[in-house]
Amino acid sequence: MGAQPTVSDVADVAGVSRQTVSNVLNAPELVRPETRERVQAAIHSLGYRPHASARRLRTQRSSTIGIRLDPITQDGISGSILDRFLHALTEQADRQGLRVLLFTAAGPEDEIEQFRRLSDGADVDAFVLTSTFHGDPRTEWLIENGRSFVTFGRPWGIDDMTDPEHLWVDVDGRSGLRDATRHLLSTAGSRIGFLGWPSGSGTGDDRRTGWLEAMREGSGLSDDELAALEVASEDTVTLGADAVRRLQAAAGPLDGLVCTSDSLALGALTATAGRLPVVGYDDTPVAASLGFSSVAQSLDEVAAGVLELLTGEQGGRVRPPGDVPDTRHRLITPRLVVREGPPLIGSR
Amino acid sequence: MGAQPTVSDVADVAGVSRQTVSNVLNAPELVRPETRERVQAAIHSLGYRPHASARRLRTQRSSTIGIRLDPITQDGISGSILDRFLHALTEQADRQGLRVLLFTAAGPEDEIEQFRRLSDGADVDAFVLTSTFHGDPRTEWLIENGRSFVTFGRPWGIDDMTDPEHLWVDVDGRSGLRDATRHLLSTAGSRIGFLGWPSGSGTGDDRRTGWLEAMREGSGLSDDELAALEVASEDTVTLGADAVRRLQAAAGPLDGLVCTSDSLALGALTATAGRLPVVGYDDTPVAASLGFSSVAQSLDEVAAGVLELLTGEQGGRVRPPGDVPDTRHRLITPRLVVREGPPLIGSR
């Protein structure tokens, strides 16, 4: 055969004009049924393929969403949350005929460079961003350059709830930690410790507030006493275990611990040989298989919220940047998954 | 401004022909430096964007690799291996200017339908397949229809090593389990059990062969005695624990267990309260954070092999389907990661 068949070849075989072939492909309702069938038979017999790139060029739409794939973290327990979000997003986007294009970036500036390349080339109609942080230059660039985007994560520090140009979906971690703390207050005792990340992370500080609110409301302890019950650690199992040992040495006996991640919760369990009730965050496969309690974020709900903000209620097509929906964010309530505590594992 | 600037607008502003503009974009070496600078200044001042879709239409290449995102498994411990592969592939593809497009599919037939849509539309140049199985209709379709593809996983059951049309990369699980079993034979005793998947999975049967080879070579046990040391389970922590309890009841005391996955290994650890040396497979974050031994597959090596088979040594461009490399597969040797065994976790 050699070259791919063209619209002209189809037109010749069907005995119609090229415009008629184009109509059959793009506006079939304009073409009489007999003609339509003849053209479709010609398309079929020649093996002609209407070219997605040509369609994109005409419509200036790619039906594709770009998302940066974060590097795998060393530890990987809570990092898998973004993989689960990616799965939910890809599955739901697929149902709307939208695709997900992945890229990587060495940092925010590099990610902005990728935004530029991918939107200049019309490779993507919109971006989804994860791991937002205070003063994030990526969202500033996207707003300044009029690109469509939604973040999974609040624009920490900016006017979160009202910024009309920043569409976001997030999970209400504060309410999650409040529920976790209330659960331990009602089942374990009043001295519920908090194992969190170093302050300065929007997400971590928000979750800590939930612990503090529940403790002020239900523990009967003073703010000074509460300050002695918290400790911070980077997000790994070993460092979490070390932090809990420090906390126990300084604060004396605890009745339970709430943690900002399952990695830290697993550290707390190893430091206390599972004798202390511990609640983690993210309800990872690790929490489920070891059987400890954790706060679950519904990533299906997050993905649905992101797509609804991107495409509107009818779905299937990304809104142009100027077309802002009435409600510009979704704050999703997480759910505490209570488990009995891990079975005995280990040989020490 | 309204409409996007076109090549004609650039030509008008620069005072050159449209062909010259096109040459500056596609074959700048044909254009005199002064003219080139004038055209580039016009491109810059108008904000003209050379359109990726137009470039694709011209070149018939998308510089994009399509890959199906598997559904998240309930358990998710070993499932994350494909996410780690996806990360490695995306990062390495990015360095070659190639992108990764994700899609989902309800099953093999649906995946074939996606192959058809994505290659008909020239959305992707090639496919990467995971989770291959015996008699896989997907690879048959891709070969019959002349599409470029590489699988992560052997074409189990077909003439694995010599099929010239099926390019694949896989990890030598047999050698991984052989190493794991030899390690336990030399450190724990001769009665090393095998906890695997129900027979019929190419990957699982291959790993089992590694255990059997090492046991025949080093345990001094007869084949009948060996048959009593193995048990099969679906790939979850709880079912794995049940299977190990059955095995212990039937076979009597064991000196250690090798498992086809970290999920099963974790089940074995909970069933034996960590008193038995256990080796898992995949070296997941769970194995690393709980501290049990596991067989590690280098997913960076797998991704590098997949890309090399797709693009050839120079990289950056997917080979056309007929252009078959000299060596058509890569079998990567995994590495045993020895750890001391988990610290005590749990309250039973």
pLDDT one-digit tens code per residue, B159-194: 555 666 789 999 999 999 999 999 999 999 999 999
Q: Is residue B3 scored above 90 in pLDDT?
A: no
Relative to beta strand A167-171, strand A64-68 is unpaired
3-class DSSP state of A216: helix
The answer to whether the CB of B347 falls within 8 A of the CB of A341 is: yes
Domain residue ranges in chain A: 64-171+299-331, 174-297
Paired strand residues for A323: none
Query: What is the band of B305 on the pLDDT scale with cuts at 50, 70, 90?
Result: very high
Q: Thinking of the domain A64-171+299-331, which architecture would CATH place it in?
A: 3-Layer(aba) Sandwich (3.40)
From 2.40.50.140, 3.40.50.2300, 2.40.480.10, 3.40.50.2000, which CATH number describes the B64-171+300-333 domain? 3.40.50.2300
Placement of tokens 């898992």 in the chain: B280
Nearest to A62 by CA among B62, B321, B263: B62
Q: Are A32 and A16 in contact (CB under 8 A)?
A: no
Distance CA(A20)–CA(B234), nearest Å, equals 56
State phi, psi for A153 to the nearest 5 degrees.
130, 140
Encode pLDDT of A3-55 as tens digits. 567 788 889 999 998 888 877 776 666 788 889 889 888 887 887 766 555 55
Tell me, yes or no, if B106 comes closer than 8 A to chain A by beta carbon: no
Residues of chain A neighbouring B286 (CB-CB closer than 8 A): 77, 285-286, 289
What percent of chain A has a predicted confidence (pLDDT) above 70? 88
Q: Is the pLDDT at A330 greater than 80, yes or no?
A: yes
Could you tell me whether strands B64-68 and B126-130 are parallel, antiparallel, or unpaired per DSSP bridges?
parallel
Closest CA to A270 of B80, B261, B271, B341: B341
Q: Assess contact for B235 and B78: CB atoms under 8 A.
A: yes
Query: What are the backbone dihedrals phi and psi of residue B303, each rounded to the nearest 5 degrees, phi first?
Result: -65, -40
Query: Across all residues in chain A, what is the average pLDDT?
Result: 87
User: B121 CB near a chain A CB, below 8 Å?
Assistant: yes
Judge whether residue B233 has pLDDT over 80: yes
List, as one string, the DSSP characters of B306-332: HHHHHHTTT-SSPPPTT---SS-EEEE
Q: What are phi and psi of A128, to 5 degrees?
A: -115, 130
Kindly report which listed range (A234-238, A325-329, B241-245, B329-333) carries the lowest average pLDDT score: A325-329
Which chain B residues touch A75 with a CB distance below 8 Å? Answer: 285, 288-289
Picking from B53, B90, B274, the nearest residue to A56 by CB comes out as: B53
Does any CB of chain B come closer than 8 Å to the CB of residue A143? no
**Residue B152 pairs with which residues in a beta bridge?**
B130, B169
Q: Do A286 and B77 touch (CB under 8 A)?
A: yes
- Residue A1 pLDDT grade (very low, low, confident, very high; cuts 50, 70, 90): very low
Q: Which fold has domain B174-297?
A: Rossmann fold (3.40.50)
Mean pLDDT of A202-227: 96
The Cα–Cα gap between A187 and A338 comes to 11
Do the domains B174-297 and B64-171+300-333 match in fold? yes
β-strand B64-68 against A329-332: which pairing, if any? unpaired
Q: At what angle do helices A202-218 and A173-187 cross, to 10 degrees?
A: 30
ipTM of the complex: 0.78
Do residues A294 and A283 touch, judged by C-beta distance below 8 A?
yes
Structure tokens at A301: 């709900």
Contact A52 B344 (CB under 8 A): no
